[in-house]
Amino acid sequence: MNEKMLEKVKLLPLHPGVYMMKNAEGEVIYVGKAKKLRNRVKSYFDGSSKTVKTYALVSNIADFEYILTNTELDAFSLESNLIKKYKPKYNILLKDDKSFPYIKIDMRERFPRVQIARRPKKDGSLLFGPYVTGFRISEVMNLIKWAYPIRWCNTNFNDGKMRKRPCLHGEIGNCIAPCAYKTREEEYMQTIQSVINFLNGDNQDVRRRLKLRMQVFAERMQFEEALEVRNLLESLDVMDSELITSLTTDSSIDVFAFNASDELNVINVMKIRGGKNIGQFNYLLDDAVGTESELVSGFISSYYKEQAELPKEILLEEIMAEEQVIIEQFLQNTFEKKVKVLIPQKGIKKQLIENSSENAKEFATNSKDKYERQKKLTTDALKELADIVGVNRINRIEGYDISNISGTNSVASMVVFENGEPAKKEYRKFKIRTVEGADDFASMEETLTRRIENLRELQNNFEKRPDLILIDGGLGQLHSAENAIKSQGVFIPVISIAKQDEEIFVSGSSVPIKLARNNYALRLLQRVRDEAHRFAVMYHRNLRGQSLTSFLNEVEGIGKKTSEKIWKHLKTKENILNAKPEDFAEIDGISTKKAIEIYNHIHKEEKN
């Protein structure tokens, strides 16, 4: 630690606040809060023994800034906001893959539907969940579909219009069809209320209905259907077995437990809803730095910003005693909802904490090998790439690819990897504007020119500067990309990878670099390249699909309005090609006969 930094630390006040650690490039790499700023910041540089992760942080600190706050609660809130803004490398950054699905019922709809919503908006709809394990929600939806004759179509009936006749599902009894029979509207709403009761934990009505259906199927010798219903009844038995009898049926609890094992920090989250354990999951905290209580409190503040709802209670371990009140106040101030934050000492809630802690420990033990492999694919691979390119560090890689067929609808993709992992919110798409025909060189030059222009102008979603740009191709593609970037007066390292022999080309050398096929730096480049290709092809297919409305109009009796209804209902060409006659029959104005004609026409076209 240099003398200038040491003097700066001595001048820090003994006051609540937030500090921001920066590296040599001025990038914020860590944000922390403190009750007494001077003591907390000094602890990083006092020469005491530190964990590997903390040492990595300290070795990268070139400067720091701080903001004073009136209270520790204000510091907690500000810390959370700054982490979200800067996404520092050594803070807890929750990834998108933990957005668990809910079941949603919007009672404002004329005939409410039961839908899966992965990121539900807070629009007043009834939400049930989250369903932590993927297969669980599909089982619940299957139970509802088999037990209750409700609608599953996407038709909007809020305009008050009625169908002249029920769709195929209504005709075969899968739906009450209130849209065609006004006298059935009340019955439909009663059925929806039964679904709500089931989702709130009352399984008796579903069980009774399924047993009746199984009996009917057996009498008709429809044994496959009877077997499927029997399997659903077994799923109900599993759900009932997860009931925690000593909790009330309206219990809504989240349990958090922490485990540290050989530099692996794990947080387990257990979710109790309706008195049932609906599942639990584990977070590996990667490069996150801090004390146990700092890590858990930081995790909680980030976690609930990504969730659709808060529980009534949160259970924490003893290590969180000093943070307990702050977390409770933070949640109430942020979400305007009272949540009890408890540290149980005995009883069933203490047992839940112990179970969560044991699961965190087991996950940490079982994740060591996976963590080491992941570290090699990300952190170690990035270090080797930095050496190959000749720069100090690489964090953000942008990969580009061009897609067209015979020069039509040319598009480009930009995918982003941060810390060696896909950052899908950062992906961008480009329509090629100035190039005619299949000229990948010119298309790439246009794409990179527009990208750098957006960077220089700090355009929204383009203000982050890449540490490395990856191009698919050989030396020619590399030089073309470099010229496009240099023409904008900017220097950003460029690297290319040729598919045939997986050779790597870098600036300033015409000699390709050949890495072993199992080299982790090469495997990272391949992942970026393949993801850029996938994203470009997907975008190109979507554009082509949007221009294919005319093929539907070839069906006799299908005009522009009906064609638009089909696209609105099924969204993409892929969905239309995979749709069955009954899917078309769900659309207002399409009879069962016409639905079959549409289906036959589409598949005739596909064969041709």
State the SS3 of 474-503.
Answer: CHHHHHHHHHHHHCCCCCCCEEEEECCCCE
**What DSSP designation does 512 have?**
P
Lowest mean pLDDT among 168-172, 208-212, 244-248: 244-248
Name the pLDDT band for 325 (thresholds 50, 70, 90): very high
Using alpha carbons, select from 492, 488, 489, 516 the residue that is nearest to residue 502. Answer: 516
Q: What are phi and psi of 579, to 5 degrees?
A: -70, 150
pLDDT of residue 408: 64
pLDDT of residue 159: 81
pLDDT (average), residues 352-372 = 90
**What DSSP designation does 254 have?**
E
Q: What are phi and psi of 128, to 5 degrees?
A: -130, 130
pLDDT of residue 97: 47
Using alpha carbons, select from 535, 530, 488, 496 the residue that is nearest to residue 513. Answer: 496
pLDDT of residue 606: 41
pLDDT of residue 36: 94
The C-alpha angle with vertex 97 and arms to 137 and 499, in degrees rounded to 5, equals 125
The C-alpha angle with vertex 481 and arms to 477 and 482, in degrees rounded to 5, equals 115
pLDDT (average), residues 227-249 = 80
Q: pLDDT higher for 230 or 408?
A: 230
**Strand ranges in 406-462 using DSSP code E only, listed in sequence order:** 408-418, 421-422, 428-431
pLDDT (average), residues 514-519 = 92
The answer to whether 573 and 548 have CB atoms below 8 angstroms apart is: yes
Name the pLDDT band for 382 (thresholds 50, 70, 90): very high
Q: pLDDT higher for 431 or 48?
A: 431
pLDDT (average), residues 11-32 = 93
pLDDT at 404 over 70: yes
Q: What are phi and psi of 318, to 5 degrees?
A: -60, -30
Q: What are phi and psi of 390, to 5 degrees?
A: 90, 35
- Tell me which CATH code domain 3-91 carries: 3.40.1440.10
Q: pLDDT higher for 169 or 256?
A: 256
pLDDT of residue 1: 53
The residue type found at 427 is: Y
pLDDT of residue 243: 66
Kindly indicate whether the domain formed by 252-288+312-364 is annotated with CATH number 3.30.420: yes
Measured CA distances, 242 to 275, 277, 442 (Å): 9, 6, 60
pLDDT (average), residues 233-253 = 78
pLDDT of residue 554: 64
> 115-159, pLDDT tens digit by residue?
998 878 778 888 887 777 655 788 889 999 999 999 988 888 888
**Strand ranges in 152-211 using DSSP code E only, listed in sequence order:** none
* Tokens 């909802």, located at residue: 337
450 in helix, strand or coil?
helix
- Max mean pLDDT among 228-237, 346-355, 454-463, 586-595 falls in 346-355
> 527-539, pLDDT tens digit by residue?
999 999 999 988 8
Kindly indicate whether the domain formed by 548-607 is annotated with CATH number 3.40.50.1000: no
pLDDT (average), residues 160-171 = 85
Number of C-beta neighbours around residue 535 at 10 A: 24
pLDDT of residue 608: 34
pLDDT (average), residues 563-570 = 81
pLDDT of residue 607: 39
> 442-471, pLDDT tens digit by residue?
999 999 999 999 888 877 778 889 999 999
Using alpha carbons, select from 408, 414, 330 the residue that is nearest to residue 33. Answer: 330
Mean pLDDT of the chain: 87
pLDDT (average), residues 104-110 = 92
Q: pLDDT higher for 107 or 95?
A: 107
pLDDT (average), residues 348-376 = 89
pLDDT at 348 over 70: yes
Share of the chain above pLDDT 90, in %: 44
Q: What are phi and psi of 505, to 5 degrees?
A: -120, 135
pLDDT at 102 over 80: yes
Name the pLDDT band for 604 (thresholds 50, 70, 90): low
Distance (Å, rounded) from C-alpha 442 to C-alpha 337? 55
pLDDT at 388 over 80: yes
- Per domain, the residue ranges of the chain are 3-91, 102-241, 252-288+312-364, 377-545, 548-607
pLDDT of residue 440: 87
Kindly indicate whether the domain formed by 377-545 is annotated with CATH number 3.40.50.1980: no
Helix (H) or strand (E) holding 399: strand 396-405
Share of the chain above pLDDT 70, in %: 93
pLDDT (average), residues 500-522 = 90
User: Quick one: tokens of 573?
Assistant: 């060409």
127 in helix, strand or coil?
strand
Across the strands, what pairs with 104? 115, 127
> 29-58, pLDDT tens digit by residue?
999 999 999 999 999 988 777 788 888 898
Distance (Å, rounded) from C-alpha 99 to C-alpha 132? 9
pLDDT (average), residues 294-322 = 91
pLDDT of residue 60: 87
> 534-562, pLDDT tens digit by residue?
999 888 777 665 555 555 666 677 777 78
- Please, is 557 exposed, middle or buried when counting C-beta atoms within 10 Å of its C-beta (0-12, 13-18, 19+)? exposed
User: Quick one: tokens of 420?
Assistant: 């060696």
pLDDT of residue 493: 94
Q: Helices 223-241 & 134-147, crossing angle to 10 degrees?
A: 120
The answer to whether 433 and 446 have CB atoms below 8 angstroms apart is: yes
pLDDT at 267 over 80: yes
pLDDT of residue 14: 94
Domain pair 3-91 / 548-607, same fold: no
- Please, is 479 exposed, middle or buried when counting C-beta atoms within 10 Å of its C-beta (0-12, 13-18, 19+)? middle
